[in-house]
Chains A and B, each alone.
Chain A
Amino acid sequence: MSEMDDATGAAASPPRPSGDPPPATARSRRRGGTHPLARFLIRRILTAVLLAWGITLVTFVLTNLVPGDPVAANLGQRALGDPAIVAQWRAEHGLDKPLWQQYGLYLQGLVQGDLGTSQQSHRPVSEDLAEFVPATLELAGAAIVVSLILGVAFGVVAALRRDRFADHALRVLSLIGISVPTFWLALVAFYVFFYRLQITPGSGRVDPALGGAPPVTGLQTIDALLAGRWDIFVSAAGHLVTPALVLALYTIGLLTRFTRSAVLEVLGQDYVRAARAKGLPGRVILFRYVLRSALVPIITVAGLAFGSLLSGTVLVEAIFAWPGIGQYAYKSATTLDLPAVMGVGLVVGVVYLVINLIVDVLYGVIDPRVRSQ
């Protein structure tokens, strides 16, 4: 749901292309004193910390209040029959303590950077996450870049060709894009391009024969470039194409629809008409006048869409055997591995908050009215 609603919500509230600067900036503009950007950042970071804490609380409550029992999910049938083993397992994972104490211990560890130990992998959750997060970031990052390029381009074309054939065709295509079940599309793409046509590499992140580049950033493509290994880069990029496109399709559809309406709205403004009247070339009007102003709501939606991309990875990673956080999240959720689930929630939540923080800062770069104070 979130995906569609994000767009609807963003459309229903400021900022609009021609409208006011984001509310937080408006607020800081009224006050004097500290640099407004610093003030704004501090406010946002505090909110982010509060939200992150909220995420741990929600996950904790959810996974504890409901009937699921992590003991049953983790121990085998025979071990379950032996109360001593069950008790020992509970004590080992701190499950014998009262709930508030469990949560307190978790928070205490959290502020020291300790996310607890996964009940499944028996490793610190932070280690697990460090292994899986980069793969997902690479996938989602590639997907959002593709979505932005194609979505904005399609949206601009649709707006400029309003009510002509291209507009109608793009409308239908983008609606198809937001209607395709991702997990099914992943399967179809895998079957057609890998199994039948054999034009894309199979599952995983890189050809196993090549090994993989020495990890620096954890992003295979970047690491390969850093190591100067062109062969690994080609293989990693090849592995990335299909899952990233599958993942991006929804966001492409969303951004096309959204860019179209944002551009249409700007096209109707007086200053665009004035620019046309004074004979500026169409290219200048499009890039300097229209796109620049339409970009503010577009990146807002893109920021929100990144969150849905991150959760969409759960479904795509399963098909492409992509060793990312989605698969980890799935495994932890089905085994009720509480520390791991909370870790995933925290990381994805924080990434989401950081992205939207960047989006807010970008407003200032794009829109001089936001920057002026």
Chain B
Amino acid sequence: MRRDRKGLLGRLPEAWRQPLAVVGIVVAAAWLVIAVAAPVLAPYDPLAQELPRLAAPGPGHWFGTDQLGRDVLSRVLYGARVSIPLTLLLVVMSVLVGGLLGACAGYFGRWVGESIMRLADLVFAFPTVILAMVVAAALGASLTNAVLAVLVVAWPSYARVTRGLVLGVREREFVLSGRLLGFSAWRSLRVDVLPNVTGPVLVLATLDIGTALLLLSGLSFLGLGAKPPSPEWGAMVAGGVEVFDSWWVATFPGLAILTVVLAFNFLGDTLRDALDPRTARAIKERAL
């Protein structure tokens, strides 16, 4: 591995001071607050169809109303409760599944590793959206199944990265000496290998939150995710396609997706820079 755990932690504070990272953190935090406080913040019930239909944005309803007379602002705010927790859960699951499989592939090598990596190749060779679409359609349209579908296409990248990192550490002296001291494979993985792998995987995961949300809302947009009354952003954009004239119905949920994804990409990009030895120096120079 390129660096030990101390180096990783030592580098983080500089990364947090980058303007992009600050913007990313602020926006992401704002969305988290919105997700928690949606019932307080939203002016209307997101499901109540009691307002004039397709009213343009203005005082009263700043984001306008949709074709069923629901307040778009309230729906966008409530949408944070649907999309953000699911996306985070999805990424955690991908990290666990992909990371575990990749670590096994790297640590045990031979046929275990080979078969896991060939499976990953297979998923890579298959176009992401189409595979996710097939899985989602086959499982039946629901948000949970859409999450599972994205998980199917998401784990291989973690498996690949983890495997590469584990391969790099496996033969290092401190791992070998651990094995000589009688560590079991599991303990060796956990104590010696894992700490050296977490940094890059975390960066990948941060960058992946955005991609996962894009894919998840894309599936909902296609009608393979959230069911209609649910204020899911992708599904709301799809609803806006039907009432093309009233631009606000689709525009605001789309902007919501964009800002969340952008926030995490800002964050992930800064982290990647900070952890990449080639660019890390540049940041350090600037920080001094």
Contact = CB atoms under 8 A, between A and B. Distances in A.
Interface of A: 1-6, 8-9, 12-13, 51, 54-55, 58-59, 62-63, 66-68, 162-163, 171-172, 175-176, 178-185, 187-188, 191, 195, 257, 261, 264-265, 307-308, 310-312, 314-315, 318-319, 329-330, 333-334, 336, 341, 344-345, 348-349, 352-353
B109 interface: no
Binding site of A, secondary structure by majority: helix, strand, loop or mixed?
helix
B271 to A, nearest CB: 12
Nearest to B212: A1
Contacts of A9: 157, 160-161
B18 to A, nearest CB: 11
B33 interface: no
B221 A59 contact: no
A261 B122 CA distance: 29
Contact of B258 (A181, A310, A336): A181
Given A184-B253, A187-B254, 18 more contacts: A1-B94, A1-B212, A5-B211, A9-B161, A12-B200, A51-B122, A58-B123, A58-B126, A63-B138, A67-B138, A175-B269, A182-B218, A183-B234, A188-B250, A188-B251, A318-B222, A329-B133, A333-B134
Nearest to B151: A1
Contact of B125 (A51, A265, A333): A51
B67 interface: no
Interface stretch (B71-79, B178-186, B240-248): B240-248
A333 B218 contact: no
Interface of B: 20, 94, 118, 121-131, 133-140, 150, 153-154, 156-157, 160-161, 164, 200, 204, 207-208, 210-212, 214-215, 217-218, 221-224, 234, 237, 240-241, 244, 247, 250-251, 253-254, 257-258, 261-262, 265-266, 269, 278-279, 282, 286
A160 to B, nearest CB: 15
Nearest to A352: B125
Given A62-B138, A66-B138, A311-B128, A12 B262 contact: no
A336 B134 CA distance: 8
Contacts of B244: 191, 195
Contact of A176 (B94, B200, B262): B262
Mostly, the B contact residues are helix
16 contacts: A1-B211, A1-B212, A5-B161, A5-B208, A9-B157, A9-B160, A12-B161, A58-B123, A66-B138, A181-B218, A181-B221, A195-B244, A307-B125, A314-B133, A315-B221, A333-B130
